[in-house]
Structure 1
Amino acid sequence: MLKHLPIILASKSPRRQELLSLMDLNFRVELKDVDESYPGNLEPAEIAVYIAEQKAKAFEAAGEIVITADTIVAINGEILGKPKDVAQAREMLRKLSGEKHEVFTGVTLVKGEYIESFFDRTTVYFREVTADEIDFYIENYKPFDKAGSYGIQDWWGNTVVQRIEGSYTNVMGLPTEKLYQALLRL
C-alpha cells in the first residue's frame, strides 16, 4: 500500500530491515556515524527518541523519507544498551533473569522540513535462567548488537520470555504498527 514511498532506513539492524520488508516497503539502507550519547537527566523513552533524532539530523535527503530508530532496555531505572563484551552481556542477562523490564524504541521520520518522532514501550517478563543457559545463549547467538543482550525473535525469546505487554515488533527494534500510521500521515 505504501510501496511507492522512497524510504531510507538509517539502520544496520537486520531486524529493522526485515520488519520494513515485511511491511512491503521499498527502502534502501544508508548509514552515518552518529554520537549516541545522551543527557543524563532523560527518562528511558526520552533517551530512545533523543538518539533517534540525533541519527536523523545526520541526513539531508530531499524528497526521501528517512527513518531512524533507537531501542533501549530499562530495568529498575537502569538503562541497558548493547553489551560491549561477553562479561557485560552475561551481567545484563543475569539482571533480567526472573524479572520484568521495559523496552523502548524511539523512531524519527524526516522528509524535507517535516519531522515526526514517537516512541513505543513494551513490558517483557523473563523466567529465571541458569548461568549455563546464559553462557549457551551468548556463545551461540552473540547478542552484542542487541539492547539488553537478547533478541526476542531468537532462542532467548522462544525459551525465556514468559510474556509481553505491548508490541512484539517494538522489542525487535521497530514498532511497525505506529510506524505504519506515521507513514500514512505523510
Structure 2
Amino acid sequence: MPRLLLASNSPRRKQLLADLGLTYEVRLKEVDETYPEHLQRAEVAEYLAAHKASAYRDDLQPGDVLLTADTIVCLDEHVLNKPTDADDAVRMLTQLQGRAHDVYTGVCLLTGEGQKVVFSDQTRVHFRSLTEAEIRFYVEKHKPFDKAGAYGAQDWIGLVAVTRLEGSYFTVMGLPVHRVYKELEKLGFGVAAT
C-alpha cells in the first residue's frame, strides 16, 4: 500500500495536505538547516527541502513517498530565516514593513525507489507600513519564532499588513499545494487514485 509521509510538524502543512483530501503520516527528525552561502533565493529553499529528505532516505519502503518542504523569505538578496528570539523577530518585521519581499517554498518528493522531484514556488508579498507597537504586539501575542521572516500570512499580521500577493497564498503559508498536488498525482496520489 503506497504511503505518503510528511516530514514536517507544521500545522499549516498538515492542514493543507488534509484539505487536498490526502491521507498521510507524519515523520519527524532533527535536521540541520544550514546551507552553503553561495546559494541564493529559490536555490536555498530547494536545497533545504532536498537536504531534509536525504535524512529519511534509508527509512523509506517501496511505495513510500516522502514530502519535505522549506520556506524562506527574501528581502532583496537577504534571506530571512526563522528568528532566534523576540528581538530578532522585531528586527525582521521592521525591515519588511512598507516593502515588498519574496517568499519561496522549496519542496522535495522522495520515493522509496529513489526517485526525487525537487521544485520551488515564489510569491511576492507586499506589506504596508506598520508601527513599532503593531510589530511588538504581533511578536508578543503570536510568537512567530518557527516562521521564516518572523510572520505567518494566516496570522493577525497577515490580516492587517499584507496588502497584495503576486503568486500563491499557500506558498506563503508553507506549501505550494497546486504544484504539490500535480506532482503527487504523477506518483499515484490524489483523488483520482483513491
Instruction: Please state which band the TM-score falls in when normalised by the shorter chain.
Output: over 0.9
- 1:5-37 Cα distance to aligned partner (Å, 9 max, x none): 521100011111111111111011111111111
Listed as ranges, the gaps of 5+ residues in structure 1 are none
The AA in structure 2 aligned to 1:80 is L
2:157 corresponding residue in structure 1:
156
Rounded to whole Å, the distance in 2 between the matches of 1:86 and 1:33 is 23
Rounded to whole Å, the distance in 2 between the matches of 1:24 and 1:6 is 14
Match of 1:56, SS?
helix
Match of 1:134, SS?
helix
Alignment of 1:46-85 (within 5 A): 46-59=43-56, 60-62=59-61, 63-85=63-85
CA shift, 1:43, in A, is 1.3
- 1:138-158 Cα distance to aligned partner (Å, 9 max, x none): 111110010000010111111
Match of 1:37, SS?
coil
Match of 1:43, SS?
coil
The AA in structure 2 aligned to 1:11 is S
CA shift, 1:64, in A, is 1.1
- 1:103-161 Cα distance to aligned partner (Å, 9 max, x none): 00000001121110000000000000000000110111110010000010111111100
The AA in structure 2 aligned to 1:19 is L
Runs of at least 4 residues of structure 1 off by over 2 A? none
Percent of paired sites with the same residue: 48
2:32 corresponding residue in structure 1:
35
Rounded to whole Å, the distance in 2 between the matches of 1:30 and 1:6 is 12
Rounded to whole Å, the distance in 1 between the matches of 2:91 and 2:37 is 22
CA shift, 1:76, in A, is 1.4
Output the aligned Cα RMSD. 0.9
- The alignment status of 1:119 with 2:140, answered yes or no, reads no
Alignment of 1:118-157 (within 5 A): 118-157=119-158
The AA in structure 2 aligned to 1:170 is T
The AA in structure 1 aligned to 2:90 is R
TM-score by length of 1: 0.96
- The alignment status of 1:14 with 2:19, answered yes or no, reads no
2:110 corresponding residue in structure 1:
110
The AA in structure 2 aligned to 1:20 is L
Contact 1:5 1:25 in 2 (8 A): no
- 1:41-90 Cα distance to aligned partner (Å, 9 max, x none): 11110000001001100113112110000000000111000001000000
Rounded to whole Å, the distance in 2 between the matches of 1:13 and 1:21 is 12
TM-score by length of 2: 0.92
